[in-house]
Structure 1
Amino acid sequence: MTMQQTTVTEAPKDERAAGTEPARDRYFDLLRALALFRVVLYHLTGWAWLPLLFPSMGVMFALAGNLMARSLRRPAVQVIRGRMRRLLPPLWLLGVVGVTGMVLQGWGPDADGHPGWWWLHLTFWIVPLSDPPYGEGLPGLHGFVGENWAADFAGPLWYIRAYLWYVLLSPVLLKALRALPVGTILAPVALAVAFEQGWIDLPGERIPSALTDFSTFGACWILGMAHQEGILRRLPRYVVPSVAPVIALAGLWYALHHGFGPGNDLDSMPLAQALWSFGTVVLLLHVSPSWTEWPHRLRRWSGAITLLNSRAVTIYLWHNICILVAATLWDRLWGFEALEQNVPGLLESVWPVLAVVWVLIGCCVLAFGWVEDLAARQRPRLWPTGAPRVRTRGGRRRAQPD
């Protein structure tokens, strides 16, 4: 879940000519913050209805696609290089911590009996063109981290891999979108249908998983680009409110007729996820009020929302292991007989665990979040609740709008 906060150091020519600078869209900031919160809550609780309430991954890919299309006013190579520079350092730091821990627990070249492949696949921790490997079944740290912790640690990495591929494909997708808007937007959904019907059957796991992610969320990324290009605004106002609910309900209908419920929600139904996310995302983009300033009732939350946006990659990468640690620590309270007898409801509640999770996430922001600033060529900050400041050509500092 993008999770990337895009920094623009120089306005496009048409904006500079008008004497203005690109401003942050606070509506998009709000959507990204809600998406991150929902991701954390869902991975803690597993409540099947949460992806229906708010399809976080589709929203985050749409927001990233929107920013990518805006950035592609500059040369494509420069934009891709900048996106990779922002994305990869937080992943490398995660890999240094995680891979080191796995190796210390015995994971290594002989873990799967193919040492050569182990070293080759390890490079996906450097450039995640495919899913980075991890040690399965590793023991936990008793009372602090649960067993098989590496699986939880590596769980969010599919998003980083998918995001990287979307970035690499964006110049081609943008050209296709301008030439054939409807066909380009619907192509990923058509691919999802083809996979679901068994018309496409590819060997192995890595290529099919990458294509499945593209078929599931590719339309959301392209919708974000279409919004930035003004394609959605050129539609008659009644089209999106009329068509989007039908597409979303088609996804819901498909899910309900294929055993939707706990353990079998939208995340395990790519076609249903693709349709529901498509319909919801296009409605959210259609409504888009494009706030350049926070509405009065949201101003009290501006610092928290800014923090979530500024540390989106760090939060997403580390939240799974924070959940595992929080749940493991909370389970230890069952060992206190007084608590077990007097407040069993509290021990069974997810809300105290959620509070612990966010405390741990805050610790990760303090410990690792500064890497996002370095990746963005900004001055490192521990707790960024305001706009970063960059040095202008005249030597003075100003708030950075986006």
Structure 2
Amino acid sequence: MTTAESGRAGLEADGDTTMALRAVNSFAAQSGGASRHDERVPGHLYGRVSVPVQPSGPVDEPGPVDLPGPTSTSASEPVPAPAFQAPPRKPGRDRYLDLLRALALVRVVIYHNFSWTWLPLIFPSMGVMFALAGSLMARSLSRPALSVLRSRLRRLLPPMWMFGVVVLPLMMLDGWGPNSSGHPVWWWIHLAFWVLPVSTPPFASHLAGFGGHVPDTWAQQIVVPLWYLRAYLWFMLLSPLMLKAVRRLPWVTLLLPLALSAFLNSGLVDQSGRVMETITDFTTFAACWLLGMAHHEGLFRRIPQYVVPSVAPLVLAFGYWWLQQAPVDQPRIGPDLEAVPLAQAIWSFGSVLLLLHLSPSWEKWPPRLERFNGVVTLLNSRAVSLYLWHCLALVLTEPLIAPLWNNDFFYTHLHWLLTSQWFPLLVAIPLIVLALVLFGWVEDVAAKRRPRLFPYPRRPRGQRRK
């Protein structure tokens, strides 16, 4: 036999082998003895992967056979299945989570301006923000924990330091100092919390108000956001342990903070003092942080789809009932969710359950929401700065609006505007934008990005809005 004839015979034999193997595969698929099912692997913030997995079965069942390669064993030996390698993750952001973060920030600003007690019931911003941060932290912990913590500290602390550089001198100029608290030594020691906020940084409760131009409680009003940074710091430091607990005992770990919050708010524990203040905030929002981690780990995809929509309304109903049982400081306004820690913990837990259960993965905006891309991107790029500086902007609206009451035109023709609660918000928005321009670039430097004064995304040249 010539060389050409030998090669032709080999190809025909390979073809027959291939056809035989395809017939075996077809028979196995039709017989149902080795059916496949889709099992979702734990995803991450910006995408999900569906991986076909072959379940184990009796060895005598026919199943799909892989074609032997050049280094395969004989036909009588089983061919080991190749190890699964996850496809590379697509770069980008999940725009649904970006939208939730932007809505949470806007809701915080509106709440601090109007003090509407029903607003946290519609959208519990703090629980949502902690849940999103927990999901992002779980995604980052695929890298070594120490490097992740160092990176997160670098992103968190510089914006707060910039805030302190402005606020601390203002409080001192208005009369705050070591002798104002009665404990000069402790005053200097507590200033260290402005460097590392493991406890709430100190501030003045009452000042002169710069000659009466601003309220005497202006410092107390503008440092309100610092509790969030303190709580975020503790969540971040404990995240490696929390993530391990979620992976080993997910449901016990998720419910434990709610049980601790119920114990702390039972009246059996004295909640006064710096330590208890930190513990109370931690137990109030730890369940939301853990829900974000569980969402990243794929826990929501391992339970039936009907479970969360069935359980979450019951959780919300119990949280609302507990809120109604709490004593009310101002009966005319009604109960405030943010003044009842246990009710806030339960309500936030139920709300975050529903929001993360929906969790569509938007690599691109839906057509109807694409017009909001610029605003949402800006708010996410300057989230920490907006949260820190919006209270100062709201406080500054009072000395800016007060002179208008002495103006005859405004008092006569625009009296409705001066008495409207919307007017301070309209004045505060330009001040917030100015603060983002002046101080927001610190977030870029902290994240090792090129500093930008106003990171509003630009459309490519020549592209028109659809």
The answer to whether the superposition gives a TM-score over 0.5 is yes
1:335 Cα offset (Å): 2.0
Inter-partner Cα distance in structure 2 for 1:146 and 1:299: 41
Instruction: Write out aligned runs for 1:250-329 (5 A).
Output: 250-259=318-327, 262=333, 264-329=335-400
Amino acid at match of 1:232: F
**Whole-Å Cα distance in 1 between the matches of residues 119 and 359 of structure 2?**
22
Equivalent residue, structure 1, for 2:289: 221
Match of 2:229 in 1: 160
2:185 aligned with 1:116, yes or no?
yes
**Which residue in the other structure is 1:375 paired with?**
446
Q: Give, in whole Å, the separation in 2 of the partners of 1:95 and 1:263.
A: 35
Distance 1:321 1:253 in 2: 35
- Tell me, in whole angstroms, the C-alpha distance in 2 between the residues paired with 1:127 and 1:310: 23
In 2, the alpha carbon distance for the partners of 1:290 and 1:136 equals: 45
Question: 1:192 offset after TM fit, Å?
Answer: 1.1
RMSD across aligned positions (CA): 2.1
Deviations 1:306-351 (Å, cap 9, x if unpaired)? 0000000000000111111113322332222332233322112122
Counterpart residue type for residue 125 of structure 1: W
Q: Is the 8 A contact 2:149 2:237 kept in 1?
A: yes
Letter matched to residue 320 of structure 1 = C
5+ unaligned residues in a row in structure 2: which ranges?
1-44, 47-82, 459-466
> In the alignment, which residue of structure 1 is the partner of 2:267?
198
Asked if the contact 2:258/2:287 (under 8 Å) is kept, the reply is yes
What SS does the corresponding residue of 1:379 show, helix, strand or coil? coil
- Quick check: 1:143–1:328 contact (8 Å CA) kept in 2? no
Moved more, 18-27 or 313-322: 18-27
The amino acid that maps onto 2:201 is P
**TM-aligned CA deviation for residue 74 of structure 1:** 0.3
1:236-247 alignment, distance < 5 Å: 236-247=304-315
Alignment match, 1:249: 317
TM-score by length of 1: 0.89
Q: Which residue identity does 1:237 align to in structure 2? A: Q
C-alpha deviation, 1:356, in angstroms: 1.4
Deviates most, 22-31 or 162-171: 22-31
Is the 2:96–2:361 Cα contact (8 Å) retained in structure 1? yes
Alpha-carbon spacing, 1:325–1:76, altered in 2? closer, same or farther (3 Å) = same
Residue 152 of structure 1 deviates from its aligned partner by: 1.3
Q: Which has the higher contact order (CA 8 A, sep 6+)?
A: 1
* 1:355 to partner: Cα distance: 1.7
CA contact (8 A) 2:178 2:188 kept: yes
Superposition deviation, residue 232 in structure 1: 1.7
Q: Which residue of 2 aligns with 1:91?
A: 160
Aligned-residue sequence identity (percent) comes to 54
Question: CA 1:251–1:332 in structure 2 vs 1: closer, same or farther (change >3 Å)?
Answer: farther
Aligned mates of 1:91, 1:114 — CA distance in 2: 25
Relative to the length of structure 2, the TM-score reads 0.77
Displacement of 1:220 after TM fit?
0.4
Distance 1:175 1:20 in 2: 23
Residue 229 of structure 1 deviates from its aligned partner by 0.5
Is the 8 Å Cα contact of residues 141 and 148 (structure 2) preserved in structure 1?
yes
Q: Aligned with 2:433: secondary structure?
A: helix
Partner AA of 1:38 in structure 2 = R
Partner of 1:146: 215
